[in-house]
Each structure stands twice: as C-alpha cells, then as structure tokens.
C-alpha cells in the first residue's frame, strides 16, 4: 500500500468512528414528558471569543431578548443580564483586561458597548422602555457609566485616549 492510501484510509476510519460516536450520543436525545410544556421564548445569545482567558456571563429572562458578545485579545470580561422583553445588546471588546457590566430590564431597550484598548470599564443599566445607549472607549483606563430609567432616552458616550471618565443618568 502506498503512503497516501494509508493516510486516506486512516482519515476515513477516523471519520466513521466520529460519526458512530455522534449517532450514539444523538440516540440519547429523546423527548421527555417532563419538558413537554416548555416553549422557546425567542431569546438568543451569540458569544464569540478569540484569544485567552475571556469570561462572559449571560443571564436572560423574559421574551425576545437578543444578545451578542465578541471578545478578542486577553482577559476581557462581560457580565450581561437581560430581563423584561425585547431588549437588545451588543458588546465588543478588543485588547486586554476590559470589563463590561450590562443590565437591561423593561421593554425594547437597546445598548451597544465597544471597547478597544487596555483596562477600560463600562457599565450600562437600562430600565423602562425604548432607551438607547452607545458607549465607545478607545484607549486605556477609560471608565463610563450610563443609567437610563424611564422612556425613550438616548445616550452616546465616546472616549478616545487614556483615563477618561464619563457618567450619564437619564430619568
């Protein structure tokens, strides 16, 4: 047997073994009467992490929540909580040791946080309805805090450079 044939045969056997394992595990997935009354609520979380030592903690309750988190670099952390209904959030962190805390409750709130750099921190708290917040921090050691209560608030915080501080509260 030539060498290429041996490699092809080994790859085919490995693929067959993997398929057999997958089918055996799938056979365990049978409907269970205990969960018959549970219906999806339309909420969705997408998390993408590239690099090392990232942490995302996401907690969703309510209906129709949408959450996207992207982290690239090293040791970025995001703690994300959504309650109420139809809230949407996007968190993107690039760099090292950035942190986001996001809390949404109420209905139809939208938030986006983009951090690029080192040791930036952002906190966004939204309650009420139809609030919109954007926090963009580019540099190192920036801090931003946004609190929105009530109806229809709009906030944009953008910081370039190092060690900036911003705090916005809307009632």
**Residue pLDDT, tens place only, 134-164:** 999 999 999 999 999 999 999 999 999 999 9
Whether residue 126 contacts residue 133, with contact meaning beta carbons closer than 8 Å, is answered with: yes
pLDDT in tens, 120-139: 999 999 999 999 999 999 99
pLDDT in tens, 80-114: 999 999 999 999 999 999 999 999 999 999 999 99
| Cα dihedral across residues 50, 51, 52, 56: positive or negative | negative
Helices (H) and strands (E) in the chain, counts: 1, 12
């Amino acid at each position: 047997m030539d060498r290429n044939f041996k490699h092809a045969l080994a790859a085919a056997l490995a693929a067959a073994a993997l398929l057999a394992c997958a089918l055996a595990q799938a056979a365990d997935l049978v409907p269970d009467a205990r969960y018959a009354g549970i219906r999806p609520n339309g909420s969705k979380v997408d998390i993408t992490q590239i690099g090392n030592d990232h942490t995302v903690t996401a907690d969703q309750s309510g209906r129709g929540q949408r959450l996207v988190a992207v982290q690239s670099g090293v040791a970025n952390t995001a703690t994300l909580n959504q309650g109420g209904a139809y809230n949407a959030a996007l968190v993107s962190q690039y760099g090292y040791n950035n942190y986001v805390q996001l809390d949404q409750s109420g209905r139809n709130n939208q938030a986006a946080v983009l951090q690029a750099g080192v040791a930036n921190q952002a906190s966004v708290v939204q309650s009420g309805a139809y609030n919109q917040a954007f926090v963009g921090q580019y540099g190192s050691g920036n801090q931003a805090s946004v609190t929105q209560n009530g109806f229809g608030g709009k906030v944009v915080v953008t910081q370039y450079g190092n060690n900036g501080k911003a705090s916005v509260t809307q009632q």
